Structures are given as C-alpha cells and as structure tokens.
Amino acid sequence: MDFRQVDALQATLAALHPLNAGELARLREEFAIENTYHSNAIEGNSLTLRETALVLKEGITIAEKPLKDHLEAIGHRDAFQYIENLASKKVMLTEKNIKDVHALVLMNDSENRGIYRSVPVQIMGSAHVPPQPYHIEEHMKKLFAHYEQSKQQLHIIEAIALFHLQFESVHPFIDGNGRTGRLLMNLELMKAGLLPVNIKFADQSRYYDCFDAYHQTGTAAKFATMLANYEQQQLERYIAILEGTK
C-alpha cells in the first residue's frame, strides 16, 4: 500500500490557515453525530442518523425506540469527546484509558463497563476464536508491545490498522468491543496528526471482510487500504472547506 497521497494531503492541510473555534466546533459536532450513528448501527443500534442527532443535540427521546439505543448514542458521543481530549494531550495508549473509553461506551451496563470479560466468547460469523478470559491480560500486554514496535516499522496508518484488527481479535470485553476499537483507532489517528474517520454502516460487509483477510493472511493490508482511503477522503474534504474559506 502506497501512503504517499495521504502524507501529501496531510502536509497540505497542515499548511492551510485553520478554521476558527466556532467553525471547528461545528464540524466536530457533525462528525461526532455521524460517527456515533454509523459505529452504533454496525453493532445493531436501531436509531437513524436523524434520530441520533435529535437524541444528542436536543435530548429528545425517540418513541418506540429502546432506552438502550438512546444510552448507546449518548455513551458513544461522550467517549468520542473523551478521546478528543486524550488526543489533544498526546496521551499514551494504556489499559486504563482503554477501559475508560469502554466504560463510557457501555454506560448502560454497570456490571460490565470498563471490565475485561470473564467468560469465553464466539464472534458471530467468524471462524476466529478469541482467547480465553484468563489469557486476556497477557494478550493485551503483547498487543501494546507489538503496536509500539509496529509504529517504528510501518506507516502509522498501517500500524493503527494492525492494532485495530488485533484488538478486535482479542475481544477483551463482553460487549462494546467494536465501538471501543473504532474509537481507539480514531484516537491514534488524531494523535498522529491525522483526521478521525467514520467507517460507514454501508461498508459493514467490506469492514468485516478485512478481519477475515487478517485471520487468513496475518497481514493488515486490506484494512490498511480501507483506512487510508477513508483518511484520504477526510483530508480532501477538510482541505476543500479550508480553501473555500479563503
């Protein structure tokens, strides 16, 4: 995978005059709402994009929609704001802040939020079997060590893609792994000076295919390409906005 186009766009964006605080806040709010909708929809949340926006911006309860779906929207929004804060401080990724992100994502489940699972799990539709619960801490330590090594050897997008695939393969929590993993992915992109990306619900099948490819080949090439394409689209969009404000 050639990441030079992403690198060039990142440099172009960095050279442009930034948006003012109000404009930036508006774009961040729009992204947070869309990201919350798509990430939750991938996991089966029934709120539409418009309903998600009403819940998050107006505090409206959507009739005939489960309370759980409302709480998932609020929790994801809060978790995104939390990772934005971590990214601004360049906080190193640790088990503690991963558990903190998960605790916000799973705000509707007081028994399991921010806690590694204690039972075996099977990922539906996948031949991959996550490690037994008594091996999770060991696998997470290896995950962090491998990520630090990958950042030295690979392009940052490829390293983040690999980290995401490996995190989801460990599947450390009983629920909320996908949402937490995608938030961590965006945390690492922002820390690297890149833009957060939004894996669309419409791309769910292609996204899951990346996990199958990883488990078959042991490489992150397919997901790294998908992630790079999303990043390129985001960079081009922001550059167009900034150039249009000149």
Q: What angle do CA 35, 195, 56 make, to 5 degrees?
A: 25
How many other CB atoms are found less than 10 A from the CB of residue 101?
Answer: 26
Which of these is catalytic: 102, 155, 164, 171?
171
Q: Is 171 a catalytic residue?
A: yes
Q: DSSP letters along the chain, please?
A: ---HHHHHHHHHHHHSPPPPHHHHHHHHHHHHHHHHHHHHHHTT----HHHHHIIIII-PPPTTS-HHHHHHHHHHHHHHHHHHHHHHTTPPP-HHHHHHHHHHHTTT-TTTTTS--SS----TT-S--PPPGGGHHHHHHHHHHHHHHHHHHS-HHHHHHHHHHHHHHH--SSS-HHHHHHHHHHHHHHHTT-------GGGHHHHHHHHHHHHHHS--HHHHHHHHHHHHHHHHHHHHHHHHT-
The answer to whether 187 and 86 are in contact (CB under 8 A) is yes
- Among 137, 118, 121, CA closest to 129: 121
Q: Show which residues are catalytic.
A: 171
